[in-house]
Structure 1
Amino acid sequence: MWLTRVISNKPKIDNNKALVFDEKALTTCFCRKARRKEKEGTDSSSSGDSKLYLEATVLERKLPEMDMRILVDLPAGLDYNEWLASHTMALFDHVNLVYGTVSEFCTASICPDMTGPGQKTYLWFDEKGKKTKVAAPQYIDYVMTFIQKTISDENIFPTKYANEFPSSFESIVRKIVRLLFHVVAHLYAAHFKEVVMLGLHSHLNLTFAHLTALHHRFSLIDPKETEILKDLEVALHLSGECAEAAANNNDKLEDTEKSDECRTQSTEDTSGDNKS
């Protein structure tokens, strides 16, 4: 039932090859802003203060010529929920892929808190609404487990003919996209150095650009949450794309509402959504 996944050219990593990193060259690349503390247990989120991801040498993104507005714009006559499902699946795959490559550097001792840039701390809200402070790897495990379970649920992400999306589908997507944003924020704040070492920064930048464009097109995340990576949005020249998309957002959504009854379901109350 879903569309073909939006981005299919995932980075290929040869697990049979030993990866050898030149620490001195990497330090020079970052203008000596990235010296990792050797002591195990040091909170690596402190490296986020230097914002290595804003260095000119790492601002490339995979498929730089791609206009993200076109990527996320809802084609005429296409089901709104179907479109959101396709993009949500693609984003989950790519965030999961990038995090998986650096997960060995994200441990409870290195990342005792789930942080984003500027020492932003995310708390996990369980099914009963209880908030808990957990280490970053535990938080991300909760996120990925929740998303995997959700997208595998036929009652939420239907794949069989005649099965309908639930009326709360958009609110569920909002939660998923927001949680993926938290993971992306942590990658930039705490593990961007490792991402660069693996040569995956252009893929992470493209994933961020995709998530940002989707958010701006359909207003999926509270702007207060995305503010922490606003500087990266500007550095990657996404602001112009997003501003124009936002300017056209109301008109296009109005057209969609007239042609697709599913769009009316997206106004369901989202008060039950976990917020971190």
Structure 2
Amino acid sequence: MADEDRRSFGRKADKGDSRRDGQQTPSPTSYTGSQTSLPGISAPQMPHSPALSAAMSVESQSSEFQASANRKPPFFFREEYAGLIVKGNFMTLAAKPVHVEEGEWLAHQVVEQFRLLEGMLAIIKVIDDRTGKPICNQETCPTMSAAGHTYAWLDQQRKPIKIPACSYIHHVQKWINGKISDPNLFPTDTSFALPSAYASGGMNTPGASTPIPAGPTNLDASLNSLAGKEWLGRSSGFPENFEGDIKSIYRQMARCYAHIYHGHWLDPFWHINAYKELNTCFIHFVNVGKLFGLIADKEMEPMQPLIDLWQEKGLLPSAQQTGSRPEAGQGAAA
């Protein structure tokens, strides 16, 4: 893809419509999904490596959560609190433009989804005037939890350690920023975006008098194996591990959203009337993840009731549409 076309995406998007529809909903009187305050619990020492891999995390599910399955669901799982700040079908926003290479489109989408998530995370980092601490802190959220799921990092000895949610989120943001800023994983060199027919950079390449370097390759692989091997984004210069890495990024973003809902929906999102903005960012995130197979159903378990509600309303792709990867104007919902 030409450099100007790539910059037209910018791997960013204009700020979404922040209009509110003014619809009034009943005021919550209780909240079953909030985190219990556990003062005095100190967090284990974190590894010194600034590049913790998203694969370096594990998940557990408590029996206590399973035993409480019959309790009344949290407010964010109820239809009256599932509203959005925009109307329409989000599949249109996710549909790939016809003339855009798929790897390039997904790189743009992942960066955009991370931008939206960071906006929501910034809200739970605001200093609470009552405590003088961020809303999400070591005392309110001693672990990275969502419903009965607890997410743990692996330390340098590959042992799972439970850390406060604020520390977990900080490491996730740092890790994702490192990934999307890495030109080896998210290349921006225009020479890599040319049609694959000229990837070898021969002297007869149209419009050039010097060879154009080929995209990144595995030097340990034979030429015959590389010639017939394809992967997501190869023609735009994305490396072979690109798809696996963006799926890891998406998995960690899903965990951040799950913690935001289960730990902070009432305070602060309900209190500042921003829960519809949260819903709008999350439904867009889920829609892209489902359509392009970036997120597994297991990772969505803490938020599945809300996803089911939106699917029943036709706001998210059905099981038949999942993984179809529609292009704009070709089967995308209006």
Q: Normalising TM by the smaller chain, what interval?
A: 0.7 to 0.9
Distance 1:6 1:37, change over 3 A: closer
The number of equivalent residue pairs is 234
Runs of 5+ unmatched residues, structure 2: 1-5, 20-24, 42-64, 66-70, 126-133, 193-236, 328-334
Which digits, 9 at most, give the CA deviation of each residue in 1:108-165, with x for residues without a partner? 111001011x221111245775432111001000100001111111111122312421
Structure 1 segments of 4+ aligned residues over 6 angstroms from their partners: 35-40
1:41 aligned to which of 21, 33, 39: 39
Alpha-carbon shift at residue 235 of structure 1 (Å) = 2.7
The answer on whether the counterparts of 1:217 and 1:249 sit within 8 Å (CA) in structure 2 is yes
The answer on whether the counterparts of 1:233 and 1:239 sit within 8 Å (CA) in structure 2 is no
The answer on whether the counterparts of 1:114 and 1:135 sit within 8 Å (CA) in structure 2 is yes
Matches within 5 A, 1:222-241: 222-237=296-311, 240-241=314-315
Distance 1:70 1:54, change over 3 A: same
Q: Is the counterpart of residue 170 in structure 1 residue 200 in structure 2?
A: no
1:156 aligned to which of 156, 169, 185: 185
2:98 aligned to which of 76, 92, 101: 76
- State the distance in 2 between where 1:97 and 1:127 align: 30
Q: For residue 52 of structure 1, what is the aligned residue in structure 2?
A: 75
Alpha-carbon shift at residue 41 of structure 1 (Å) = 3.2
Q: For residue 138 of structure 2, what is the aligned residue in structure 1?
A: 108
- State the distance in 1 between where 2:279 and 2:296 align: 21
The answer on whether the counterparts of 1:33 and 1:50 sit within 8 Å (CA) in structure 2 is no
Distance 1:55 1:199, change over 3 A: same
Distance 1:126 1:221, change over 3 A: farther
Q: For residue 113 of structure 2, what is the aligned residue in structure 1?
A: 91
Distance 1:226 1:251, change over 3 A: closer
Tell me the SS of whatever aligns to 2:320: helix
Q: Is the counterpart of residue 143 in structure 1 residue 172 in structure 2?
A: yes
Greater helix percent: which structure? 1
1:206 aligned to which of 269, 273, 280: 280
The answer on whether the counterparts of 2:311 and 2:317 sit within 8 Å (CA) in structure 1 is no
* Identity score, percent: 22
Q: Which has the larger radius of gyration?
A: 2
Distance 1:126 1:169, change over 3 A: farther
Tell me the SS of whatever aligns to 2:170: helix
Runs of 5+ unmatched residues, structure 1: 13-25, 256-276
The answer on whether the counterparts of 2:35 and 2:263 sit within 8 Å (CA) in structure 1 is no
Alpha-carbon shift at residue 75 of structure 1 (Å) = 2.4
Root mean square deviation, CA, Å? 3.3
Q: For residue 257 of structure 2, what is the aligned residue in structure 1?
A: 184
Q: Is the counterpart of residue 120 in structure 1 residue 153 in structure 2?
A: no
Which digits, 9 at most, give the CA deviation of each residue in 1:75-99, with x for residues without a partner? 2231111111111111111111111
- In the superposition, the TM-score normalised over structure 2's length comes to 0.61
Which digits, 9 at most, give the CA deviation of each residue in 1:236-255, with x for residues without a partner? 346745444x42456658x9
Distance 1:146 1:252, change over 3 A: closer
The answer on whether the counterparts of 1:7 and 1:90 sit within 8 Å (CA) in structure 2 is no
- State the distance in 2 between where 1:219 and 1:197 align: 34
Tell me the SS of whatever aligns to 1:29: coil
2:320 aligned to which of 247, 250, 256: 247
- State the distance in 1 between where 2:99 and 2:39 align: 53
